[in-house]
Amino acid sequence: MDRRKFTQFFIAVLLITAPPSRAQHKADVRTANQLRDIIYYLASDSLEGRRTGSEGERKAGDYIINFYKERGIGPYKDEYRHPFHFIYGKEIVETTRIKIGNNTLDLKNEAFPLSFSATKHVSGDILPDVMEDGSIWMISLYADQDEANNVHFDAEKAMFDRTRDAQKHGATGIVFYDAYGSKWPPSFNGLSTNESVDIPVVFLSHIAYKKYVPAPDTFGADSTKPKAGLVADLDITIKKTERIGTNIAAYIDNKAPYTVVLGAHYDHLGRGEDGSSLYSGTEPLIHHGADDNASGSAALLEVAAWVKKHKKLRHYNYLFINFSGEELGLLGSKNFVKDEHIDSIHTAYMLNMDMVGRLNDSTHSLELGGIGTSPAWGTLLEKPNKEFKISIDSSGVGPSDHTSFYHEGIPVLFLFTGTHKDYHKPSDVADKINYPGEVEVIKYVEEIVKKMDTEPKPHFTATKQTSLGKVNFKVTLGIMPDYSYQEGGVRVDGVSENKPAKNAGIKEGDIIIQLGDIKIQGMQSYMEALSKFKAGDKTKVTVKRSGQQMVLPLEFLK
């Protein structure tokens, strides 16, 4: 049988044997079809996974803006596009030169600086495996042929650890080299989380090593001393990569004192270039992000069109935000809140939809987050819901953009139909979406928006933050670090109740720069510092607050 016919046959069988679905109104069918159009477009190959700052993100943004325009929903503060600048990863600046002897090496095939290298210029004699105080060291990356052929050997970690050690012993620069011809040589990793060191560090490929570095015995009898003639000249500049993402915001101004924010992120992982992909193949593939979060983006558009049409909803203003940069650490929502001065005085509540397209038809499970952020949400749940088996999470802090609003003291609500095996993989595609199921989610959101429009501005309540990272230490400080912060130190995004940080007086927005004797450059040194303490230890923590340094006494709980 021909494959196309087989499909037709298969559909026919399905139609006959499928159980009678719940009676759907014509309007629901229309909504499901519209959702299908939007999600198929946003998750299509032509948008290439909607990576933040990419052409695909721009196309998705155009589509979203067009939708708002067609429904007569105007822009927020005169512009639909609200761009934000951010720093993500590192890159090699073109002026970088690596010279061995008189040869300038090709930065593609012969040598490259490590992403944790200092931006610095040094030159001096080198000789393989000679390590003297005050000179550039030349170190064989692999101990032997076996190590060079070991796919599990973590070259970057090995080089980072040795660099830190070499730095302590007076090396002024390091040239790592591959003497064995590894099948898996390292390459420049701009996303490395290793913090910068104080000396230039480069890697020499096997080809370059053979081509430019003479065998030690040709240096003469006393091969332990570097000779003039083999000079390394390392002029390295590494910079942080600056990028631009764009939030899309539309607004219905009812001249009301308070505004309701409805949001969903529309960015996704592109081809996985920025990390956080769970795809294990080697060939880069488009991550379609149909559920994550074309589903929420489409739902937001449908809800916006409904709010616009529903003339009775006039007690609040309505702000619809399609965030970008979510996958890189809630960057779009953080920047929007900051740049547009979103505050708890003018904002009634924020409702966020992230991954609402995979309602399971047998469990009907819907997760509601942020329930603890306002007593108003409790009354919502008193009425039993026929469509969903609702599981609740009280915390205002979660893995999506509502978190940025919760940190401003705004009640939040987060809707999510649950995770699945296609999560953050290229296989999160449009034909796996449960369209009638998503229509039910949208109707539920509309029900909430409608009910809340008749209620006074909801009160905010802070929630307990339970999970603060997966790493197990003997002690905890009780902060939520800002993982996107890259300007030195650890920026505090949230502080847990009754934990050492809170007791010491650390506040949201503080930058931790020293813990005990250890200077904190970033997350890595923060984790290392934390691992040195045990329960009951007393020490001091230094923070920067509004440019001022403060030293606070700190006690780890028993």
CA distance 479 to 518: 18
Closest distance between Zn ion and the C-beta of residue 327, in Å? 5
Smaller CB separation from Zn ion, 52 or 496: 52
Closest distance between Zn ion and the C-beta of residue 51, in Å? 12
Nearest to 297 by CA among 332, 272, 346: 332
Q: Which helix (H) or strand (E) holds 246?
A: strand 238-252
Using CB positions, name the residue nearest to Zn ion. Answer: 292
In the complex, which residues of this chain contact Zn ion (CB under 5 A)? 292
Closest distance between Zn ion and the C-beta of residue 125, in Å? 50
CA distance 441 to 452: 17
Closest distance between Zn ion and the C-beta of residue 60, in Å? 15
Closest distance between Zn ion and the C-beta of residue 428, in Å? 9
Closest distance between Zn ion and the C-beta of residue 297, in Å? 12
Smaller CB separation from Zn ion, 204 or 290: 290
C-alpha to C-alpha distances, 194 to 187, 518, 527, 531, nearest whole angstrom: 15, 16, 12, 17
Q: How far apart are the first and last CA of the chain?
A: 70
Q: Which amino acid is at 164?
A: R
Q: Which helix (H) or strand (E) holds 102?
A: none
Nearest to 376 by CA among 288, 436, 429, 451: 451
- For the chain, count helices (H), then strands (E): 13, 23
- Strand order of the sheet with strand 120-125? 103-104, 97-100, 231-236, 120-125
Closest distance between Zn ion and the C-beta of residue 321, in Å? 17
Q: Which amino acid is at 404?
A: S
C-alpha to C-alpha distances, 408 to 405, 465, 490, nearest whole angstrom: 5, 15, 19
Smaller CB separation from Zn ion, 110 or 428: 428
